[in-house]
Amino acid sequence: MTSVQTPVPVVQQDGTARSLLRLSRPQQWHKAVMLFAAPAAAGALESPGVVLRAAIAGVGFILLAVAIYAFNDIRDAPDDRRHPRKCLRPIASGALSPLVAAVFGVTAALLGLAVVSGLGWQTFALAAAYLVAQVLYVAGLKHVAVIDLIIVALGFVLRAAAGGTATGLPVSHWFLLVSLFGAMFLVTGKRKAEYHAAGNAVSRPVLAAYSSSWLDQVMTVALLGTALSYGMWAFQYLGHDVYRELLAVSFLPFFTGLLRYALLVSTGRGEEPEHEIFRDRVLLLAGLSWAALLGVGLYCA
């Protein structure tokens, strides 16, 4: 009888520079756009100085994220070697030694803190809090149910707040609430999609502590919190000029986008929220409509 062999992934041995780049996960750097959220909401992106300071903060937070990716892959290397996809990561595959990755991670963390230090003590404090929270996450809190969701969502909120402190712009309470609830909505949606995809397998150990119904409840709470917070911010401009009133109109495509993403998650999609907007026409149209109304309302007033 002929035995069936399980295919073994082919590991491509890259050079050190390429391996370090893969370790840095450049496909995740787009999350630094959160540093521009506060200036954008304040209608201040027309100022070159504001854009420059937000960009510098973005570079700093990208470096901190790179450090976290390095620490995470060092810690998870033994488990990654048993995973069909993660075994291709530079450390798990042997393309990069843990020592080189550790030096690279520490260097990235120090550079990131040095970059944001020139943007004021508040931005530095937020960056340091982000780094500490993410290190604790990697060290073991990512395996603690509920806490893992809070820390990931907190990362988005800290970046959004840092965009305000770095540019010297006030950040409203509504903005922070939208950031918090919106991040919780996306993070929980991602966990729900992973839960669907995992089936009987455990792709992320903490998923075993969750139930589908509980994740649905958290998504519902987060969706409502996001919608209500955004609505309170947007509708305060009713009664101003015609352009500002478009901010209230923007609530419709914003809410449509939230509901559409929730629908996609309920069907097993949504594991990569940043990609779904380009895969789903309704979500893309809602996003473009929202961005257009927001842009005109903030920058044509």
**Residue 250 token pair:** 């923007």
Burial bucket for residue 10 (CB in 10 Å: 0-12, 13-18, 19+):
exposed
User: Of 35-44, 81-90, 198-207, which gets the smallest average pLDDT?
Assistant: 198-207
Of 298, 300, 291, the closest CA to residue 33 belongs to 291
- The contacts of residue 82 (CB under 8 Å, 6+ apart) are none
Of 61, 37, 204, the closest CA to residue 123 belongs to 61
**Mean pLDDT calculated for residue range 215-236:** 94
Predicted confidence band of residue 89 (pLDDT cuts 50, 70, 90): confident
pLDDT of residue 11: 47
pLDDT of residue 203: 61
Backbone angles phi, psi at 202, to 5 degrees: -115, 95
- The helix/strand/coil state of 168 is coil
Give the C-alpha distances (Å, rounded to integers) separating 10 from 13, 78, 89. Answer: 9, 18, 12
pLDDT of residue 301: 64
Question: Is 286's pLDDT higher than 50?
Answer: yes
**Residue 220 token pair:** 């519902």
**Type of residue found at 117:** S
Q: At what angle do helices 121-139 and 48-80 cross, to 10 degrees?
A: 10
Residue with token string 């100022």: 47
Predicted confidence band of residue 124 (pLDDT cuts 50, 70, 90): very high
pTM of the entire predicted model: 0.86
Q: Do residues 78 and 130 touch, judged by C-beta distance below 8 A?
A: no
Q: Kindly report, residue by residue over 12-31, the tens digit of the pLDDT.
A: 556 788 888 888 899 888 88
* CA–CA gap between residue 241 and residue 150 (Å, rounded): 38
* CA–CA gap between residue 117 and residue 98 (Å, rounded): 28
pLDDT of residue 96: 81
**What is the average pLDDT value for the chain, to the nearest integer?**
87
* CA–CA gap between residue 26 and residue 63 (Å, rounded): 11
pLDDT of residue 291: 93
Of 121, 123, 223, 109, the closest CA to residue 167 belongs to 123
Of 138, 144, 139, the closest CA to residue 208 belongs to 144
Question: Is 8's pLDDT higher than 60?
Answer: no
